[in-house]
Each structure stands twice: as C-alpha cells, then as structure tokens.
Amino acid sequence: MNKIVLKNKKHNSPLRYPGGKSCLAQYFRDLIYNNNINNCTYIEPFAGGSGAAIQLLFMEEVDRIMINDFDRSIYAFWWSILKKTEEFTEKIRSISLNMTEWNNQKNIFLNKSSKLFERGFATFYLNRTNRSGILKGGPIGGKDQSGKWKIDARFNRETLINRVKTISLYSKRIKLANIDGIELLQKKYNEKNIFVYFDPPYFQKGGQLYLNHYKYSDHKKLADFLNGHPNFNWVLTYDNVKEISDLYKNRRSQQFNIHYSSNKASTGNELMIFSDRLAL
C-alpha cells in the first residue's frame, strides 16, 4: 500500500476541525485533472468546514461546489455567511469575546427553535472559541479563563471577516443542502462531471468530536452504497482502523498522515479509499 504525501496546507474555511482536510485540495486537483473531469462539480456529502472544497473553488479548479451537512447547525453557518454576509461579518467585528457571551451563544446553539442566522453564528462562535473547534467541548482557557490561551486565541476578527467575504464572492457557484449524505448521493451519483469527496465521522473517536457521529451500522450503510456504486468519481477518507479496511477490502486504498489539533497537536494515520473509476 502506497502512502500519499501532502504538501499544501492553506486554510480558507472560517471553521476549525480536528483533522480538517484542506490539505487535500492539491491532491484532489491532480485527480480531477488526470481523470479529465471537465466542468467539474465537486460535492462533499459530509461537509463540515469544507476546507478542500473552498480551496478548489478559489484555485478555479472546479466550476462549482456542493456543500451538504446533515447537522443543521453546520448548514445554518454556511447559509448565514452566503445569504447574510454583511450582517455576519459585522457581528464578527463587534461581538464580545468573554464567558458571558460564550454562555449566551451556547444557549442559542442548544435552543432547537433558534432562527437560522442566530444558530449559524452561534455555531461559528463556539467553533472559534472552543478547544480544537469541538462544538460539544468547552472554551479555550477553561470556564474560569485560567489557561495559557484565552477564549479569543482563535478569533482573529479581520482574518475571519476576510475569509467570509471572499467565500461570499463565489456564492452563485456554491450550492447548499441539509440532508443525509447517502440520500444526497442517491440523487447525485449518476450525474456527469462530478467528483465526490466523503469525509464521514471518524470510526474510533467520532462520538467525541461530532454532534452527529456514526454507529457501526451507519458506517456499514455507507460502505454498502459505495461498494455497490464503484464506478463514479469518489474518494473516501477515514481513520486507519481494521474495521474500515475490512468494509472496503475490495477497493484500492492508500495511507496518509494528517495533523490533528484535538486536545494536543499530533499526527494521525488515515486511509484514503478510491472508486474503481478513478485513475490514480
């Protein structure tokens, strides 16, 4: 099994994710180019921060992207920055960065009846102020703010405003969806000129990192779909564990290392799995 070496680590997404995949953008660009996927629509059924998707769009390597996430909070964030850009960026500029506001945003986030914009901003606020961007985690520096780093450590206002505004310039080329990832693929897999990147919740630590984590039955359901449809352009990444290798034993795969920022900086070994159609 070969190992992929990643070189490009530029970040354009406003969201932070442990093991975020923006570093894969250049590798995906090469796959798209070498497989002659012209007028490409790039689709992420488990979007999260969509780092690779945004970078490919900025690089003009794809015509359009589709961002889908079953988590309504993540969908609300993307909807808010694309539909309410000025309101969102003004809120980034003016909002307080302290525990009083953190608790306020946490309450908005937990309130299922929150309006879409309020929920989208609360999701963003917690992502930027929580340890490692984990929405279900606690604030950087702790609730007593006694840690070395404080709640504002990952909230550079001007950088974040610039990222949001730049993404909004491409809004006509970005389509959003808020449905189950497999349901999305049942609608899209036979369309022409698509490249689909699956980044589902990790098998081992998904419950610690994501609000919508997967059970084994969910991982198997996804594997059954992809193994049953090996002839469209798709790539899948997972934590490199035996259970996943077994599910995809008939597909080609490669290992790669990626930087994790959850709890403490570390390097993890992951698995990239390919559809039969792609020439590597």
For residue range 161-206, list pLDDT tens digits in order: 999 999 999 999 999 999 999 999 999 999 999 999 999 988 865 4
157-161 LR contacts (CB < 8 Å, sep 24+):
157/92, 157/93, 160/14, 160/92, 160/128, 161/89, 161/92, 161/93
d(CA 5, CA 267): 13
Q: Which of 118, 143, 173 is the last residue before a domain boundary?
A: 173
Q: Answer yes or no: do 139 and 207 share one domain.
A: no
Res 209: pLDDT:
42
**Together in a domain, 197 and 264:** yes
Q: Specify whether 188 is located in the same domain as 277.
A: yes
Do 41 and 159 sit in the same domain of this protein?
Answer: no
Instruction: Report the pLDDT value the prediction gives residue 50, as an integer from 0 to 100.
Output: 94
Reduced to 3 states (helix: H, G, I; strand: E, B; else coil), residue 197 is: strand
Q: Do 134 and 158 fall within a single domain?
A: yes
| Domain range for 167 | 74-173
- Note if the pTM is more than 0.85: yes
Q: Which residues contact 41 (CB under 8 A, 6 or more apart)?
A: 62, 63, 64, 65, 66, 191, 193, 194, 195
pLDDT of the residue at 257: 83
Q: Say which CATH number the domain at 93 has.
A: 1.10.1020
How much of the chain, in percent, has pLDDT values that exceed 70? Answer: 88
Residue 147 and residue 274 in one domain: no
Residues 136 and 100 placed together within one structural domain of the fold: yes
Q: Which tokens hold the place of 194?
A: 């698509």
Q: What percent of the chain has pLDDT over 90?
A: 80
Residues 102 and 151: beta-carbon distance below 8 Å: yes
Label residue 212 by pLDDT band (50, 70, 90): low
Q: What is the arithmetic mean of pLDDT over 248-270?
A: 75
Helices 116-129 + 85-94 axis angle, to 10: 40
Are 21 and 46 members of one domain? yes
Average pLDDT score, the chain:
90
**Domain count of the fold of the chain:** 2
- Domain boundary pick from 173, 188, 203: 173
Q: pLDDT at position 160, please?
A: 98
Q: For residue 35, what pLDDT band results from cuts at 50, 70 and 90?
A: very high
Burial environment of residue 36 by CB neighbours within 10 A (0 to 12, 13 to 18, 19 or more): exposed
| Per-residue model confidence (pLDDT) at position 43 | 98
User: Nearest Cα to 68, choosing from 154, 156, 185?
Assistant: 185
Segment 34-61 mean pLDDT: 96
Indicate the SS3 state at residue 54.
helix
CATH of the domain at 242: 3.40.50.150
Of 135, 155, 173, which residue sits at a domain end? 173
65 and 86 belong to one structural domain: no
Rounded Cα gap, residues 70 and 180, in angstroms = 5
One domain, residues 30 and 121: no
* Residue 124, pLDDT above cutoff 90: yes
Backbone angles phi, psi at 96, to 5 degrees: -75, 150
Claim to verify: residue 186 and residue 60 sit in the same structural domain: yes
Are both 186 and 279 inside the same structural domain?
A: yes
What pLDDT is stored for residue 210 in this prediction? Answer: 46
The 10s digit of each residue's pLDDT in 213-235 is 678 899 999 999 999 999 999 99
Q: What is residue 261's predicted lDDT score, i.e. its pLDDT?
A: 52
Confidence check: pLDDT of 49 > 90 = yes
* Per-residue pLDDT at 79 exceeds 60: yes
